Amino acid sequence: MKLSIPIQKFLKKNLIKHDLKRKDLVQKINMTYPTVTRIINASRNNPEFMTIITLADFFHCPIDEVIGRKQYILFNEQQQQFLQLSLHEIQKNLISFIKSKLVLEKITAYQLAKKLKLGETVIHDFIKDGSNINILSSPVIIKLANYYCISLDIMIKRTIVSN
């Protein structure tokens, strides 16, 4: 799964829309110039999930919009508010989401990893008590969201939906 092209399109469109230069973006989102340049040039295939969230937070938009998952973006009928979450909160919410799905489906973390075509211990190692894994990679998180047909913002509890 290559995320660089949809993120590149998103960034180019929003830099123009908000009349921003790269250096302005770098200063406002607290990323290095080379990192932002690699993202804009699509030379960084799979940016870290926190980088994607930083972009979504800055442009006040759904994570799904940043990565081109258009089918999960809520439009006019619902207004969304986005919460600024720490890495720890995202980790906790993602683990909670995965564990609830495992219970609901009555499957193990190994079985879920197999369904997602991941390494057999990827999910287990992330959700186990005392894990030293802070966050899954962006492609793994997106595979989870795709598998469960859910918005990334809802999955990590970044959004509050109101009518």
For residues 125 and 156, state if they share a domain. Answer: yes
In a domain, 36, yes or no: yes
Q: Of 68, 98, 120, at which residue does a domain stop? A: 68
8-state DSSP, 151: -
Contact between residue 99 and residue 128 where contact means Cβ atoms under 8 Å apart: no
Task: Quickly list H helices, the chain.
Answer: 4-17, 22-29, 33-40, 49-58, 63-67, 87-105, 109-115, 122-127, 138-147, 152-155
For residues 60 and 123, state if they share a domain. Answer: no
pLDDT in tens, the chain (163 residues): 589 999 999 999 999 999 999 999 999 998 999 999 999 999 888 899 999 999 999 999 999 999 999 887 766 545 678 899 999 999 999 999 999 999 999 999 999 999 999 999 999 999 999 998 999 999 999 999 999 999 999 999 998 766 5
Half-sphere exposure of 143 (CA within 13 A, CB side): 18
For the domain that residue 119 is a member of, what is the CATH number?
A: 1.10.260
Count how many domains the chain has. Answer: 2
Contacts of 10 (CB under 8 A, 6+ apart): 55, 65, 66, 67, 68
What domain range is 53 assigned to?
4-68
pTM of the model: 0.90
Q: Of 17, 40, 68, at which residue does a domain stop? A: 68
For residues 157 and 91, state if they share a domain. Answer: yes
